[in-house]
Amino acid sequence: MTLFDTKPVPATARTWWRTASACGGMLALCGGLFHTVTAAVLRRDVWTQVVDEGFFNTVSLDPSPERLAVAEAFWFSPGSFGVPLLLLGSLVTWLARRGHPVPWWLGAGVALWAVLIGSLGGFDLGTLILLSVGGLLAAGGWTTRRPRAV
């Protein structure tokens, strides 16, 4: 693929995952899936309570002390970064498998977001994984935008 090609070159089944973007996408996909499933399992008693009480309008932005567990379960699972990270990872791996480049600024934005989260709340394992996802996506996007030597 040259600088002026408009159509992507689909990757073969053996090579698509060798790019930095594909590795970042797989890491994002796995991290988002892990976070979402683990958060739901860890709070299953609260989710059982939510289903029993009725699913709609059960979470408040200003919860009372007896509803604090429900609000915390929401912000720990569907309201957290797990679902968007899962979707981002799915999109990036889909693009990588079809030979489409991922823009470098997408990875830079994820990396900056991770630095902000780490600065405010501490650099734990999740923040470091998010920083790695951003770095891989930025590196993959940066290398694909540069013209290749002939």
Structural domain contains residue 7? no
* Band (115; pLDDT cuts 50, 70, 90): very high
pTM recorded for the entire structure: 0.77
Structural domain contains residue 3? no
Structural domain contains residue 116? yes
Structural domain contains residue 43? yes
* Band (34; pLDDT cuts 50, 70, 90): very high
Structural domain contains residue 141? yes
Structural domain contains residue 12? no
Sign of CA dihedral 113, 117, 123, 126: negative
Count the neighbouring beta carbons within 10 Å of the beta carbon of residue 24. 29
Q: Mark residue 92 as left, alpha or beta (left: phi above 0; alpha: psi -120 to 50; beta: remaining).
A: alpha
Structural domains of the chain, count:
1
Q: How many whole angstroms separate alpha carbon 1 and alpha carbon 89?
A: 24
Domain that holds residue 95: 19-145
